[in-house]
Chains A and B, each alone.
Chain A
């Protein structure tokens, strides 16, 4: 965690949304969103694709104005000054294949009023920090997905924003790239920058977020620290590889003493349990031939999501906007 929660509480508010709504033509969107973000705070908007996270992010970035409610950035309505203080990372890597790494950053810097030696200094510093120092003259078409993402992050950090808005910044990246990106982001958080991250990755949210905002069907349904969100859960999560599990099996398991929620995904069941060492032998005694593998871990935001929303956190709710 970048900073203590006490430090964060005393900081001013880079973001405040009050009753903000934006509904797209196809009726998706975000409804009646209240959200505030402090300096040095990492807030993750957690939800499946199509939940409304990106719509919230677009209201924060100023791409769309709320149809109802208020968006305020550092105490002001959205405008040129607010955009100057925001760094935005989109869901997809947004680079031009024909431009080089250096040109990509320089163009962005020029759009933010940076020039000359100051622009060069910042470019060099960020490219080195993000492991792109030896690729400055290469065209973006030669970069891997992970390196393109690092370039996106470098671009968002180049003008030294006070608020970073990131849409799935590490989606589908290798661990090295994810770590490099989070290291750069947390460095800025330590310096007072506020981060709003859209994600459906519960592990990442639990690892890096000070606060998790659970978004479902366009609404905020819960909001708290990861610790508080998971505090009411049974302590262990039991992941069972069990492709042949039936509804009757699940119903039976839910009735067992010491078993809380049972999440069913494609080939897996995830049981929230009081004490895994007691449940595992019972499971194998009853269903041993059907279960092909199992893992025990601590209960996480994934189970908290299920408990709050009533269905597993998957990405089968349609296209994200």
Chain B
């Protein structure tokens, strides 16, 4: 009886705490899931592309999508010096509005693309990050977008 009570309590606490909410998204085709203590879900491709989902706790009262969109851009561009190649509105398959950033790092053939999809859902902030070459085929780019939109 005690064990059962403990399990129920734990489940309730986890349900209320943002970090314990189970979030998933579908990895792009060609990616395999790998364990990582930082990311809820993380996958890598045979080419070394990587994609991962993280959940962050929102402020209280919570900042909205506009606030976090500006905050991410400020941090990555003004502070970290990344080049913002593109920023666009994105909607998840579940109907959640978000922002997709496409940053670039480095120069020349080794230039890296770093995509960040940002969603805000109440007390939770979801980010799906992808690290890949700056120049990729359109099909690959679409597969990444599709994977990002699948967050739930």
Q: Do A and B interact with each other, yes or no?
A: no
Interface set of A (CB-CB < 8 Å, partner B): none
**Chain B residues close to A by CB (< 8 Å):** none
